């Protein structure tokens, strides 16, 4: 699977662990994140991930910041992006199953590396359920 990843300074260490984990499963990653712990503006690293997903260069996106909120808010400014802030595997599963999330937002300061890997495994393997959820998805965009 082709995956785009972006992070700010709070997510550098977690991003490195995620990349290592995903490369073991032969996923192809595009890294738009910073590799430095020096303070940066998360939006500069999140918009490129959303653009990769929108242009279908990748199947899904992973975004990481301290709380996960700023990253999710930034990505969700793009029409047709459904970035889900996840902090448990169960929430990651429901974000795919019911909301057809195409980007997972991870709060680096609130989840462990193990928890992040578990969430990603679920996020990547869970298909959208469709059905009654499809009409709800169609009502999200404001365009």
For the annotated catalytic residues, the residue numbers are 98
3-state secondary structure of 62: strand
**Cβ(72)–Cβ(91) below 8 Å:** no
Give the integer Cα–Cα distance in Å for 60 and 56.
9
Q: Return the axis-axis angle of helices 113-125 and 12-24, rounded to nearest 10°.
A: 50
């Amino acid at each position: 699977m082709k995956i785009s990843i972006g992070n700010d300074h709070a997510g550098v260490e977690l991003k490195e662990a995620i990349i290592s984990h995903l490369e073991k499963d032969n996923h192809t990653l595009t890294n738009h994140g910073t590799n430095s712990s020096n303070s940066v503006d998360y939006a500069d690293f999140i918009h490129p991930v959303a653009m990769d997903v929108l242009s279908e260069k990748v199947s899904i996106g992973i975004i990481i910041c301290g709380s996960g909120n700023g990253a999710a808010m930034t990505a969700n400014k793009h029409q047709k992006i459904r970035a889900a802030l996840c902090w448990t595997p169960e929430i990651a599963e429901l974000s795919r199953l019911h909301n057809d999330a195409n980007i997972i937002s991870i709060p680096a300061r609130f989840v462990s590396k193990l928890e992040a890997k578990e969430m990603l495994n679920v996020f990547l393997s869970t298909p959208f359920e469709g059905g009654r959820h499809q009409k709800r998805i169609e009502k999200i965009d404001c365009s």
